[in-house]
């Protein structure tokens, strides 16, 4: 079961119209216990989602290890909180990079939390 902040983030993301919110429990990864993968409707939507997540966690005194990382085209954003990482994708970019496929190879357990799935 994911920690409470992750469950709250899943609910927040859905309230902000994020799509295909997936949380992976990753006991075999060295760099994170949980990885979230989220789709947005546009680059602006992705930035808004990431900003709202950052603000929500900041209020709980949870800070990222680094600044928001973005791709050149703003179609993939990453927030790294150490114990968990959040990837924000446009749908076509998410499909191209297939993070879920990589996580499956790492024997990650998926938790689907999306009204669209």
SS (H, E, C) 17-74: CCEEEEEEECCCCCCCCEEEEEECCCHHHHHHHHHHHHHHHHHCCCCCCCCCEECCCC
Q: What angle do CA 44, 25, 31 make, to 5 degrees?
A: 80
Question: pLDDT, tens digit, for every residue of 3-29?
Answer: 778 889 999 999 999 999 999 988 888
pLDDT of residue 70: 78
Measured between alpha carbons, how far is residue 116 from residues 10, 36, 39 in Å?
A: 13, 16, 11
Model confidence, pTM: 0.87
Query: Looking at the predicted structure, is the pLDDT value of residue 115 above 70?
Result: no
pLDDT of residue 66: 83
Question: pLDDT, tens digit, for every residue of 37-70?
Answer: 999 999 999 999 999 999 999 999 998 998 877 7
- Contact of 35 with 2, CB cutoff 8 Å: no
Measured between alpha carbons, how far is residue 17 from residues 14, 31, 45, 105 in Å?
A: 5, 28, 9, 29
In angstroms, the CA 62 to CA 112 distance is: 23
């Amino acid at each position: 079961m994911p920690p409470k902040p992750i469950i709250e983030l899943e609910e927040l993301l859905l309230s902000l119209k994020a799509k295909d919110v997936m949380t992976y429990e990753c006991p075999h990864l060295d760099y994170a216990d949980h990885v979230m993968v989220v789709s947005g409707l546009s680059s602006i939507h992705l930035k808004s989602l990431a900003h709202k997540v950052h603000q929500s966690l900041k209020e709980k005194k949870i800070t990222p290890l680094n600044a928001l990382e973005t791709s050149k085209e703003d179609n993939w954003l990453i927030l790294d909180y150490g114990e968990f990482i959040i990837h924000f994708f446009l749908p076509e970019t998410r499909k191209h990079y297939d993070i879920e496929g990589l996580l499956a190879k790492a024997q990650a357990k998926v938790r689907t939390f999306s009204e669209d799935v």
